Structure 1
């Protein structure tokens, strides 16, 4: 049975079975070796993002080796397979090689120059999320609501990248409006007391309150407090909730937009 030829080819079923075994065994071996390589990189001082990129690069090379080994197992007379592969490769070279090489080169630069590391929160091309991985062709971002966003490397490399977590500290801005009848000095003092009373707000740089706009229905203030990057959202929530409560207790009005409509009777 296994020695019989496959219709329209000079290959036997045994050749096909042997090639399948080589393919499966090669894939398993490639993953094991890549895992060992990745574990070895963890013992070095390489950033996690670089180690992840190198591991994917090695895995891709091993997959190429496995494919070549699988094809060679089929024997010397595999002209039809070669023709098929040549057609596929020709299409890839004709339509996608330029973009492919650009994405790979951009991925190398991203992993080398590291405008972001794995786990850092970035905004690029209108998308935001934590860096999950940098692959050959694309970078993966993980959004706060657990969605994966895949962006081509060349797009990222050619765009402005905003890294929100690279620096150890960040400034927390909270906007609030007060009535024009409110004593400005009192409102500023209440906000300053709120920020200074928060243990996560840093004393240096010192917190501040600035007037940002004289709007139609309110005088708009901005609370500016510095905090450790890891405490950013905690401080943001505390100050947002706290200023509402503090102003209510102090009798300071936070107005809402109003419109006076006058009807003239003809």
Structure 2
């Protein structure tokens, strides 16, 4: 009866056994990956390294499952492995060196940790919160909830601006006052505004710099230090507070102006 279901020397039983091996192998691989991740999570390794190792381990297990499935189908796995090696070598010769480059870069990123999970970074002009580093690419989540994938070689090969690695950050707020305003009084109000904010640190002390004598205004920059987690709240509130303080105390924030002089011939 089994002879009727043979196709290229494969029987229904062979195919059924292969499906069982494939499904069971997939489930076992998922379980082993979870156990592996749980075990290394108990170590002092950073979460970024843990995620990287878990992904690498799961890929190895899935490759083993695929080879075991092929073996169940009476395929000689040895030649398959050799054939895959030859194909991979051929592909690498036609420009797939980037694959190994991305893999190597991912290992260096996970090991040296210029970025870590949940940190806000800028890489090659792209900003976002690090959600993970994979075998081939780094994953960022932009503030507007866009998911960004960057090849690891571009992460490792470009300057990385890490906005949240250190515990404190400096908040800068730019504001312009009119040339007729009292600049000393404007600076005094700005200093008081920063010092009165509960999340502004006293050390380093808040400061105000005159940054530019522009066409329509004297430009000042408020500089205050705060905890990194409070950065955006402090920037928003200081911007609003200095606007309200200048309005209430008569310091003019001018509109852009252009003086036009007409001469009669």
**Shorter-chain-normalised TM-score: which range?**
over 0.9
- Given that 1:122 and 1:164 are in contact with CA atoms closer than 8 Å, whether structure 2 keeps it comes out as yes
* Cα offsets for 1:121-168 (capped at 9, x unmatched): 000111000111001100001111111110000111110000000000
Quick check: 1:119–1:131 contact (8 Å CA) kept in 2? Answer: yes
> What aligned pairs does 1:104-123 form with structure 2 within 5 A after superposition?
104-123=103-122
Residue 175 of structure 1 and its aligned partner are, at CA, apart by 0.2
Q: How far, CA to CA, are the matches of 1:82 and 1:158 in structure 2?
A: 33
Post-superposition offset of 1:51: 0.5
Give SS of 2:257's match: coil
1:6 Cα deviation after fit? 4.8
**Normalising by the residue count of structure 1, what TM-score does the alignment of the two structures yield?**
0.92
Residue 184 (structure 1) aligned with residue 175 (structure 2)? no
C-alpha change, 1:53 and 1:191, in structure 2 (3 Å) is same
User: TM-score, structure 2 length as denominator?
Assistant: 0.92
- Structure 1 unaligned blocks of 5 or more: none
Change (3 A) 1:48 1:78: closer
RMSD across aligned positions (CA): 2.3
Conserved 8 A contact 1:175-1:223: yes
- Could you tell me whether the CA contact under 8 Å between 1:3 and 1:14 is conserved in 2? no
Higher deviation after alignment, 242-251 or 94-103 = 94-103
What's 2:68 paired with? 69
How far has the Cα of 1:41 moved from its partner?
1.6
- For 2:251 and 2:117, the matched residues in 1 are separated by 45
Q: Is the deviation greater in 57-66 or in 200-209?
A: 57-66
* Structure 1 residue 238 displacement after superposition: 0.7
Partner of 2:100: 101
* SS of corresponding position for 2:34: helix
Distance 1:262 1:232 in 2: 45
The answer as to whether partners of 1:10 and 1:77 remain within 8 angstroms in 2 is no
Tell me by how many angstroms 1:83 deviates.
9.9
Question: Is the counterpart of residue 242 in structure 1 residue 241 in structure 2?
Answer: yes
Q: Which residue of 2 aligns with 1:22?
A: 21
Q: Contact 1:4 / 1:13 at 8 angstroms: preserved in 2?
A: no
Structure 1 equivalent of residue 203 of structure 2: 204
Report the Cα offset of residue 95 of structure 1. 3.3
Shift of the 105–79 alpha-carbon distance from structure 1 to 2, 3 Å rule, reads closer
Identify the range of structure 1 (234-243 vs 22-31) with the bigger mean alpha-carbon deviation. Answer: 22-31
Q: Which runs of 5+ in 2 are unaligned?
A: none
Going from structure 1 to structure 2, the CA distance change for 1:5 and 1:216 (only over 3 Å counts) comes to: same
